[in-house]
Amino acid sequence: MNDQLIAIIGGTGVYQMPGVVSDAKDSIDTPYGEIEFSRARFIVNDRGASLPLIFLPRHGYHHSIPPHRINFRANLYGLKQLGVTHILATAAVGSLRKEIAPADLVLLDQFIDFTRCRCSTFFDGGDMGVEHTDMTDPYDSNLRQSLLEAAKRADLFLRDGGTYACTEGPRFESRAEVKMLAQLGGDVVGMTNVPEVVLARELGIPYAVVALVTNYGAGLSDQPLTHAEVTQAMDWNKERLQQLLQAWFYVLMNDH
């Protein structure tokens, strides 16, 4: 991956890790609106070798943007304008299956879209025209393989494959919805991966997602779920995500 620029989409905890030096917060205008991002570098060794990175906080720096209000088109188009060539996204998800437990890391390979009110394509008949994009395998196979290699290097369990059911949010799903999503083939449920993955594919940017299971879906647990519990679970597992990313950065550098 020589001369590549990697973008990480996720929360602040993802990029506040040892070895990563943040250069500056910045913003860029796109045809779809302005986005905020940070430039950073992962320092590979004491000889000055580093891997340039772009970090994009999906919900804003203060987690103030709910999932149904995220400007996905601006985010992805802005990354394209910045010259990003590969994207790794992280996502908090609920489990739809007992065998996928809270704290598991899942490397997605498919999705099912249940969103309703989002701008989900660049090809809406305007300047970009009309195009029907193939979605047989929405997540990049080379990126997925490099992440599996990184997990092995870091001695972390990364579940290879999982179908993400994307709901509109911001509410959590009902017990009946969780049962339905599982019956339709979903493994985990969240509110952010679609249309993000679709837009990345339309722009031709290789894209992969590591999903962190924070809870069981409604009906699989005896307790009702709160947003505070999801946030707490993300904080508890921040270190494991950081370990995976650090190992992945080294894998990318070794590809030179």
CATH number reported for the structural domain that contains residue 144 in this entry: 3.40.50.1580
Residues 187-206: tens digit of each pLDDT: 999 999 999 999 999 999 99
Residues 33-42: tens digit of each pLDDT: 999 999 998 8
User: How many domains, the chain?
Assistant: 1
Answer whether 90's CB lies under 8 Å from 11's CB: yes
Task: Provide the 10 A C-beta neighbour count for residue 207.
Answer: 25
Name the band, by pLDDT with cuts 50, 70 and 90, for residue 236: low
Q: What is the pTM of this model?
A: 0.91
Distances (CA, A) of 122 to 19, 68, 174, 196: 36, 17, 31, 11
Residue 112: pLDDT over 80:
yes
For residues 52 and 210, give the distance between their C-alpha atoms in angstroms, rounded to a whole number. 20
β-pairing verdict for 207-216 and 50-57: unpaired
H/E element, 7:
strand 6-10
The verdict on residue 83 lying in a domain is: yes
Q: Could you list the residue range(s) of the whole structural domain that residue 95 is in?
A: 6-254
The verdict on residue 1 lying in a domain is: no
Percent of the chain scored above 90 by pLDDT? 66
The verdict on residue 54 lying in a domain is: yes
Residue 4: pLDDT over 70:
yes
What pLDDT sits at residue 1? Answer: 47
What pLDDT sits at residue 150? Answer: 97
**Average pLDDT of the segment spanning 9-33:** 83
